[in-house]
Structure 1
């Protein structure tokens, strides 16, 4: 039995109103999604399910840390994350296309597995630019050896602009 079955919410017997589900996400959870954005982390997920007669609304609140690779020095580091998302769950025999925040389930279904949604919302909470945070003095905490190697290949903006303008002037002179 997959550990993801732990993340199935049986909604059929729930009364109308709000219901809270809390999960502690760790490396075992992430290993089920092998080779994704995140392989390790400790994240608390709180799902508030509001059941109504014709639909359900799920609010996902994620907070914790995930171990990701730094875009600058390629070393792994713990990235704090915090995010909130909302999903509408509608009931019907046919699935209709209504947007990214709507899920259709059959009227015969009695539970909803939220594992994939949890993983996706954790990934969405990760910043696009992932770099080690600076220390209290404003200095980078990236791998010093890698920063030294990178500094050899960085083109300063002044030099880059000069180079581009010189190349453009050469093109004009050739006319």
Structure 2
């Protein structure tokens, strides 16, 4: 009977064989890691998940799991496609910058006329003078500034700004 007391029961064997697995939490330092910074972000599904922006999938956190995903066929194929196509934002930023530069140029021309108390009727000749002086300027080619547009810019854009400044001073 003493032998029965010394042998472990089946329930204690099961609990001894079960080991707790450590679940890795997402580390923000991975976002600066050169292998991960272009495609990794924290998942919305919990602190133990990571998200691949390229593959649009959630991943288990852990350095080895992230490296496995990075080297997977699915991920490498999608990365190759993206690197060949380029990003849409690069195309949009160029156009947006050009359009912004054109608007700035129009505003500055109107501001120059107003600052020096020159008549708005000069705006057509002023634009053509600048085009003759700077024929290689692409922004100047896209400036379409006439008397009506200059008047509207001075009244609605700069006029409203200065009106608000006067109100704030009072």
Q: Give the number of the structure whose residues are more often strand, by fraction.
A: 1
Higher Cα radius of gyration? 2
Q: Give the number of the structure whose residues are more often helix, by fraction.
A: 2
Q: Greater relative contact order: 1 or 2 (C-alpha under 8 angstroms, separation 6 or more)?
A: 1
TM over 0.5: no
Q: TM-score, normalised by structure 1?
A: 0.26
Q: TM-score, normalised by structure 2?
A: 0.26
